[in-house]
Amino acid sequence: MQKCEDILPHMSYYSNMSDLGRIARGDVIESVNGVEIEKSKSELEATGGCVRLAVRSKEGERATVVIRRQPALVPDQSHQQATAGIGVRIDREEGKEEIVVISVPEVGAAGLGGELREGDVLLEVDGRDVKGLSCKDIAPLLQGESFSRVFVSVVRPPSKDKLRIGIVRQPAYDVSLLEQIREYKKAVKAEEEKMQQAEGEAACFFIDYKGPSDAMGRPVVMDGAERGAPKGKKKTKGEEKAAKFAAKQAAKAAKEAEDSTKGEKAPKKEAKKKEKAPEEVVEDDNTPPGEKKDMKRPMLNSYSPKHVEAAWNEWWDKAGFYRADENSSKERFVMMLPPPNVTGTLHIGHALTCSVQDTIARWRRMKGYNVLWLPGTDHAGIATQVVVEKKLKKEKGVSRHDLGREKFVEEVWKWKDQYGATICSQLRRLGASLDWSREAFTMDDKLSAAVKEAFMRWHKEGLIYRAQRLVNWDAQLKSAVSDLEVDYITLEQPEKLSVPGYDRKVEFGMFWEWAYKVDGEEQEVVIATTRPETMLGDTAVAVHPDDERYKSLHGKFLLHPITGRKMPIVLDAELVDMEFGTGAVKVTPAHDPNDFVTGQKHKLEFVNILNDDGTLNANCGKKYEGMHRFQARYEIIKDLTALGLYKGSRPNPGMRLGLSSRTKDVIEPVLKPQWWVDCKQMAADAMEAVNDGRLNILPAQHKRKWFDWLGNIRDWCISRQLWWGHRIPAYYTMMEGEERKIPKDENFDRWIVASSEEEALKAAQEKFPGKNVIGASGRGRA
């Protein structure tokens, strides 16, 4: 009877990768680090480093597979410590509340987003705040099914960086199997002769266990990629060493015999050292600026951009090769360089687009066109203001509010002069064939005058108007931002995120539910929302007119438990899906796009609950006034719970959350009076131009995007609450006895659009005869 062979079944999919191959299904484990399987328990239990397994496949091929030991998140039951992976231990430092990683094995605790390290301070496990928990309490949070993922958030000293690391819970090696194998062998020892196969092959003993098995119920290694292995029987280490040594000795003896027949060994020739070529000395180009380069000089042995490019740009500029001739009879070709923002210097993307446009411009010139390729830079209102503010905060520790508008704008102009010049220098060095005689900046006096004139003309034509509508509000910037400046993320599960200006992580991706009581009755209506703080602005609850559950409530009112507001139950088949949730929808017209439309349709009250900085205003009551909106979220839940109205929370998979691309703050839809452009007729004209062939779009497949966009066009909000940008030429009329300040409940009829404050005052006096107009106040930037 030959020695029994054992199969190791539980190899983690994540830990069986190796430079020398992988474990495959059904492989027999013969030894671990050179130790027979029966004696290898200590080898398997070791932490860190690598483990070497000798295996034999079903086909009889033998191979050695080297596997890196991976950490598994399997907590122990100690009250003082818990194991976060093999050898990774956490503990609470004496006299402190922090839970700290105190030891990590050689391989660490690697995962998505980084790896755990000694000294890391544990903050959260799977979104659960561990503050105040003991290590014993944390242990269950780390437990879970094999191959599931746990997310661990830590602070890493001394930089205080916050990391979120996803680690796979791995079963590693099932060491307990070895004991089961030994017990089984004792039980079947007397039957070994009966188990011997007729062909004399090795008998294999298996045990009954709950791991992976083949059709015969035998334990096997988990799935892995096929590995290549040498054919035939593999020699042992000792045999391999002996063979190598014998081969070396034989070769040495043969060499000595050959030398003895040839006499003395010939002296070794010295290898000639390759002499390094002397470095080419090139004189700097001395071509006078603006003169054509002297090409009679000797050609260089190798390409030198510095010397090849020298002098050409200056000569091209002086000769005017790239200037467009407005008096030329040639057919014109005009193209504008998309003006780079003065937020910084050019990057490789700018170089790409510039090269493509340069190719087009040069090709058109060669075809005989009168080409104008117009250069310039963009003031980039929000983006530039943000980078300058960050610079001031970092270098001087001040904000724009500390400096005041005039001094802050001076700082922005300094930034523009520095980076605008750098951008133009970079474009010149690229060799871009731009008409530099027409270089422009979007806030040059001439362009500012053009913006002002366009605004006044469009306002006169009714294309620009002032209205109170929902805007994307960035509380950090204290300004509206465009749709293009909002980045949306999708949350497939609840997640806590950091929010600028708030020191506590906020949970998103959840539905919170509570009830509104029916006025004068014991009935209640349960609603759900992803933004509990906005309930302070609720002015109605909508239900579907065909929903039998709410037929008896048609025409009735609900009582707001915090503000005391009476809210009508409105019927709306467009807003409400009877099959979703409770079939009842809270309506917050001032803070949700869909609710805004519903509010207009049903003539509901519009209640704005937010100040410009994201805190709650007086409409929310004394308790909540001045409170951060996300702090109010938790306080509202507490108050509703105390009133017995809170019904709990549940995940909202697939929730989309809008973040500001500038500040990463959570964007809030807020009802604000702003300046808008009516885009409907413009969009119709643009689509017609493509349809009748006046405008050609290449490649043709992009026509669909053109029509999809313009066919669903919305009016464009053009005003921003900034200090850097074009001033809107609009003034608010002030009457005698009024504070020289634009009121929150402004009268849109009092706005006067004019080129100056003097002209606005004159126009206001004509518009309001008999009234004592004392002045006009400007507002806003575009």
254, HSE (Cβ side, Cα atoms, 13 Å): 6
- Nearest residue to 381 (alpha-carbon basis) of 730, 720, 675: 720
Say yes or no: do domains 82-168 and 510-651 share a fold: no
Cβ(526)–Cβ(513) under 8 Å?
A: yes
- Nearest residue to 151 (alpha-carbon basis) of 114, 197, 118: 114
Q: Average pLDDT, stretch 135-152?
A: 71
Distance CA 531, CA 514 (A): 12
**pLDDT digit string (tens) for 17-71?**
333 445 666 677 777 777 776 666 566 555 555 667 777 777 777 777 666 554 4
Q: Tell me which range, 207-221, 225-239, 269-283, 508-522, is most confidently predicted by mean pLDDT.
A: 508-522
**Second-level CATH architecture of 82-168:** Roll (2.30)
Distance CA 377, CA 710 (A): 27
CATH code: domain 308-443 is: 3.40.50.620
Name the DSSP class of 182: H
Name the DSSP class of 552: G
CA 111 vs. chain centroid, Å, equals 18
The pLDDT of residue 652 is above 50: yes
Q: Average pLDDT, stretch 298-304?
A: 81
**What string of DSSP letters covers 605-653?**
-----B-TTSBB-GGG-TTTTT-BHHHHHHHHHHHHHHTT-EEEEEE-T
Q: Average pLDDT, stretch 264-292?
A: 64
Domain boundaries, the chain: 1-70+172-228, 82-168, 308-443, 510-651, 730-778
User: Residue 370: its pLDDT value, please?
Assistant: 97
Other CB atoms closer than 10 Å to residue 351's CB: what's the count?
A: 14
User: Residue 197: its pLDDT value, please?
Assistant: 42
Distance CA 209, CA 230 (A): 32
pLDDT band at 350 (very low <50, low <70, confident <90, very high): very high
Give the phi and the psi of residue 636 in degrees, each rounded to 5.
-65, -45
Distance CA 653, CA 672 (A): 31
Please give the mean pLDDT across all residues of the chain. 80
H-helix segments, 98-153:
135-142
531 three-class SS? coil
User: Residue 779: its pLDDT value, please?
Assistant: 52
pLDDT band at 170 (very low <50, low <70, confident <90, very high): low
Higher pLDDT, 433 or 144: 433
Q: Give CA separation, 699 vs 349, 427, 696, 711, in Å.
A: 21, 27, 9, 20
DSSP element (H, E) containing 763: helix 757-767
H-helix segments, 170-311:
176-188, 192-195, 237-262, 305-309
CA 425 vs. chain centroid, Å, equals 32
Higher pLDDT, 372 or 740: 372
The pLDDT of residue 525 is above 90: yes
Distance CA 81, CA 158 (A): 23
DSSP element (H, E) containing 427: helix 405-429
Q: Average pLDDT, stretch 594-622?
A: 95
User: Residue 742: its pLDDT value, please?
Assistant: 82
The pLDDT of residue 698 is above 50: yes
Tokens representing 218 are 């035998």
116 three-class SS? strand
**How far separated are the first and last CA of the chain, in Å rounded?**
91
Q: Average pLDDT, stretch 368-372?
A: 96
With 0-12 CB in 10 A as exposed, 13-18 as middle and 19+ as buried, what is 124? middle
**pLDDT digit string (tens) for 526-548?**
999 999 999 999 999 999 999 99
pTM over 0.75? The answer is: no
Preceding amide of 699 cis, omega within 30: yes
User: Residue 278: its pLDDT value, please?
Assistant: 60
DSSP element (H, E) containing 440: strand 440-441
Distance CA 373, CA 339 (A): 12
**pLDDT digit string (tens) for 178-228?**
444 455 445 545 444 544 443 333 333 333 333 444 443 333 444 333 333
Distance CA 108, CA 114 (A): 10
- Nearest residue to 684 (alpha-carbon basis) of 662, 709, 649, 660: 709
Percent helix, strand, coil in the chain, to 5, is: 30, 25, 45
Q: What percent of the chain has pLDDT over 70?
A: 73
User: Residue 75: its pLDDT value, please?
Assistant: 42
Q: Tell me which range, 3-17, 464-478, 768-782, is most confidently predicted by mean pLDDT.
A: 464-478
158 three-class SS? coil
Choices 3.40.710.10, 3.40.250.10, 3.90.740.10, 3.30.70.100: CATH for 510-651: 3.90.740.10
β partners of residue 775: 734
CA 238 vs. chain centroid, Å, equals 56
Cβ(674)–Cβ(480) under 8 Å?
A: yes
Tokens representing 451 are 């913006």
**pLDDT digit string (tens) for 619-629?**
999 999 999 99
Distance CA 542, CA 528 (A): 12
Cβ(409)–Cβ(437) under 8 Å?
A: no
